[in-house]
Structure 1
Amino acid sequence: MPDARVPVSTVVYDALRADILSGRVRPGDGIPSERTLSERFEVNRHAVREAVKRLQQAGLVQVSHGGATRVLDWRRTGGLELLVDLPPEDVGVARAAYELRACIAADVAARAAARATDEDRASLAARAAAFAAAREHCVATDGPVSPGPALLDAYRELWDVLVDATGNIAYRLAYNSLLHGEDAVTAVAVIYLRDELLDAETTDALVAAVLDSDADAARAAAATLTAHTLTALSPTEAPSR
């Protein structure tokens, strides 16, 4: 029986989504009928219809009125929101996510430098000071090899200001999707991000560039920071869990 604390349509959606993303059902395959799914999950047909509607909105299936509902190739029809549904512990998935993050980070830094308001700059200075304090505490207590989730949180808060300073909703939504994926593997993320989190000199350079409205310097600093993590996720150098 479905968990009473979870909407029954979500139970159906999650199961079908997992089948599609894992490849257990392939592009072009039809999904079972409403009746079959109702019986399989012991739910009413309304819940099944809601689940299928969500699959359609996610670009996972195509619904043909009067015909079968068929699975699509989600790599060609899905959106960034599917990133959080892929196995984040997979190094290949993590590397893909952080490569996208590196591209976004460079643009975010440059646009924040060009567009930040006085209020944004004040917030950035405050978040940078809080991050520096968290980093010093982490190094003093945990050692530089293993920064903890508290340092990651402080770093995220710094980037939150930068993203908001761009005034670009697309960057914000993409950044949110990347964070949701990272949330699933925080313990591994802090390993991948270790050198980035502990690079005080480049973080300070990034903040100074934004405060000085130097877009080129901000872009360069962001690229240097994120390059640490891409190196950690290279096929030959990815850290073990």
Structure 2
Amino acid sequence: RELEIVVRMAPVAPQKKADGSWAGTGDYPEWTVKYFDFYFKGHSGAEHTGYVPNQALFDVLESNDPSFTVLDVENRAFDDDVMAEIMEALKHNTCVTELKLARNLSHWNEQGDKFGLALAPILARSKTITKVDLHNNDLHEKAIVAIAEALKVNTSITELNLADNFARKNAKDIADMLKVNTTLTWLNMNVNQMQDEEAQYLLDALKENKTIKHFTAFNNGALSKELRRELRGFSK
């Protein structure tokens, strides 16, 4: 299958540092390096310095390789289109158990609609994914609602990190999900611009939920001192 992302850049190999990590737009596990190409701004027409996924990543996802259980694209500064393309390759995979997708779209000031809408059906039908880290991706209404709906029917995911996104009033959709989900045990909703009304709605849903053992939602927009205290969360 041809890579659908058009890249007008010549790859430059990232350099390994003394501590064993790799230089670039961030520090990454060594095993992930072969799945990405690195480009310098201005080199062969590159518009920015950073990584793009190469064909090896798409191949390993689509081949359902049982040895590939963690999809780690964290802090690669991928935009909405690239993240959606990666989700397309993931959609029939049944071996990946953990999604490390944090800190991508926030670099581009995008809402992540394509990404979120491509991810949601994967979460809805997956029976193998247990951990999902989406923090700092600027996810807005469409993505938040779609993910919440997916987790109403998912029975495998135990950890969800939605910190540093834009749930806002759609925190109510997360709350509605918590009323029916019986698998999730760990939830991070820090820095999601929740005001008092949606914060209270979420906290009320957590009182009904019997499975969440760890919850945190600090640095939101709630004005009530009592709500701010409760949003600091708990660990049971």
**TM-score of the pair, normalised by structure 1:** 0.28
Q: Of Structure 1 and Structure 2, which has the larger fraction of its residues in helix? A: 1
Q: Of Structure 1 and Structure 2, which has the larger fraction of its residues in strand? A: 2
Structure with the greater alpha carbon radius of gyration: 1
